[in-house]
Amino acid sequence: MIPTPRPSVLWLPVALCAVSLAACGGKPAPEAEPQAVPAAVITVTGGDVPYAAEFVGETESSQEVEIRARVEGFLESIAYREGSVAQKGDVLFQMDRKPFEASLDAARAELQAQQARLTTASANLKRVGPLAAEDALSQKDLDDATGTKDAAAAAVAGARSRVQQAEINLSYTTIRSPVNGVTSFARKQPGSFVSPGPDSLLTYVSALDPMRVTFSVSENEQLRFNRLMSDGTLKAPPGGKFSVEIVLADGTTVPAPGHITFGEASFSKETGTFLVRAELPNKDGALRPGQFVRVRVLGATWVDAIQLPQRAVMQGPQGNFVWVVDVESKAQFRPVSVGPLTGDQWLISEGLHPGERVVVDGGLKLAPGVPVRPAEPGPAPPSAKSQPARG
């Protein structure tokens, strides 16, 4: 028969364990400190940042000239290639000259006849004058001779003006370009009868240099800009001279900047915007009338603005935020408000102050209170380009 162990014997191992725990102090082992996460960190600073307001604009010629017939006659030839660039004075159309040359010859012949009559009348007056002074002829004879001479002189002047008009009409048969510019297609073909009037349009010539760009500014945009200027957030350029930069549809920036030449005095009741026009050089002809382009109005600056690389600003359920490294080198969650984007740089309008340290790379591994091992940030992505901050 196996003896049953006593209860005191059964509790002996438990008592020994309790004594062992008491010898160790009776406390659990402390948790290990989290390891510091390496992250690229920068110290933010404030400074003036270029400002750019962007609009959609349309190019137009600074001088679009209608080429019209100024005399009536038959169109003989088209002397230009449609769509080509014409220089000032180049022949565009030629009308039939023969009727106008005949009119000029007739006017010159009439002038010669009137000049002959004037010569005769002048000679007659010279003879009558002395005789009338000696009472050999009456005063009436002298008056008649004087009147004949004056009438002949007036007839010569009239004939000379008709010669000039005939010469002008003949010159109008050769139709030339009044400006340097690109030509449109011909509205009339050789053999057509053309004349001054509503149907006299032959083509257009549009000057390319300089080129104009028109765009519209909404009332809200104008009021916001005025508010930023009044509270000192924005600073106007010296003398209030804003410049204009044009960006084409493929992202190409026109190298020559322009300047604003006209601003409508009142808002349009139909659109709630007012028209602004800029002008810029276009010596290489890269811009053509009728193109839709992006217009950047430059010159103003953001005052004491803070910028961060685009990759430093993250998005969460409550909006944009960054990781700030505090004095203990621990990560802290910080909501921010972003403004315009300058290439790869966000303008931070609210949430940060100069001197604070912000994580640029490595923020995905962070949580509030996690230690950070700061490192220098690497180079920006090659696709990022520095551009003025757009409003």
| Residue 31, pLDDT score | 57
Domains, the chain: 38-49+304-390 (2.40.420.20), 52-61+209-302 (2.40.30.170), 66-93+176-206 (2.40.50.100), 97-172 (1.10.287.470)
Average pLDDT value over all residues in the chain: 85
225-238 pLDDT, tens digit each: 888 889 888 898 88
**What pTM did the predictor assign?**
0.64
DSSP state of 367: -
251-301 pLDDT, tens digit each: 888 888 899 999 888 888 888 888 999 999 998 888 999 999 999 998 888
169-197 pLDDT, tens digit each: 999 999 999 999 999 999 999 999 999 98
Helix axes 139-172, 98-133, angle to 10 degrees: 160
Taking residues 234-244, what's their average pLDDT?
A: 88
**Confidence bin at 116 (pLDDT 50/70/90):** very high
Count Cα atoms within 13 angstroms, Cβ side, for 271: 10
**DSSP string for residues in 103-158:** HHHHHHHHHHHHHHHHHHHHHHHHHHHHHHHTTSS-HHHHHHHHHHHHHHHHHHHH
In one-letter notation, the amino acid at residue 270 is E
For residues 57 and 297, give the distance between their C-alpha atoms in angstroms, rounded to a whole number. 11
